[in-house]
Structure 1
């Protein structure tokens, strides 16, 4: 038993030593934990202040660099947009020109077809064509000119014998007036007229 007591005493001492050592370690650890948390917080704070200082020092340079990069990107985008707009404009103009040409061809075909149909209907009705009307007009104008020229020639030759005949008739009238006695002028009132009778039905 004495051996067990010795062993028990030793074990108790060892356990006590261990407890004391564990207590010291946990106490030291408990004291170290707030220190490590405060040191970590201090390091975080200092890192933030350092970042703020660096950003403030390099901020203007960084901002100017970003402005330059933005201006370069804007110029690149504008050049690209202008090139694309030019391409799109040329494509649209080409398609508009093609559409206009097709439309004009369609109108010309439609106009030709319409003229042909109207011409056919007019021929069936016996209406002369424009060329025929123009030819008739030219013939009428030629005939009118010829009649005028003949009428002027006939008037010139007809006026001379008419003057001679008028000169011959003038003395004959004078002699006829001398032969007929003149009637005396009426004096007095005119005779009343008889009223006309109208028959009523």
Structure 2
């Protein structure tokens, strides 16, 4: 174990003949590189934090704006869908109501006719016949007056 460490130590050291000293280039260089990279990483982290702090509010505001637009579109779409469903429901209810009224009217009319009672439709029909008859009688009376007037002149 000691031999490995000492051989490694010799790899990292270089003997300077002029000064009579052993140089430790490799160890010193790698320590300086490590410090340099560590400092760069630290500075990059500080820069990232600063940029995130500066741009974070811009990004947040941008996300809020996008969220508002999406909410607006969603509300608009929901309102349109609710309106369409409401309209279709109203149409369906009106159609069903009309069908039920016609069915009830038919059954009531049929039942009243079976027992011999007059319905409102029967009275309306009779009323229109009487009005037609009245108009025809009025026409005949005018024609009769005209004929009498012609006969009296002769």
> Normalized against structure 1, the TM-score is what?
0.42
Alignment of 1:97-112 (within 5 A): 97-112=87-102
How does 1:1-201 map onto structure 2 within 5 Å? 28-29=10-11, 31=13, 36=26, 39-40=29-30, 42-56=32-46, 59-130=49-120
Rg larger in structure: 1
Q: Aligned pair in 2 of structure 1 residues 51, 120: CA closer, same or farther (>3 Å)? A: same
CA offsets 1:93-144 (integer angstroms, 9 cap, x no match)? 11221221122111111111112112211211223325789xxxxxxxxxxx
Q: How many residues align?
A: 108
RMSD: 3.3
**Cα distance change of structure 1 residues 29 and 114 upon mapping to structure 2, 3 Å threshold:** same
Instruction: State the shift of 1:46 in Å.
Output: 3.1
- Higher RCO, 1 or 2 (CA under 8 Å, sep at least 6)? 2
Aligned partners of 1:48, 1:26: CA distance in 2, in Å? Answer: 25
Distance 1:112 1:37 in 2: 104
- Bigger drift between 96-105 and 39-48 goes to 39-48
Per-residue deviation at 1:39? 4.1
* Distance in 2 of aligned mates of 1:119 and 1:95: 36
Q: Distance in 2 between matches of 1:37 and 1:120?
A: 115
**Runs of 5+ in structure 2 lacking a partner?**
1-6, 15-23, 124-154
1-side partners of 2:82 and 2:27: how far apart? 70
User: 1:17-48: per-residue Cα shift (whole Å, max 9, x none)?
Assistant: xxxxxxxx97742547x964664354234323
Flag structure 1 segments of 5+ consecutive residues without an equivalent: 1-24, 134-201
SS state at 2:117 partner: coil
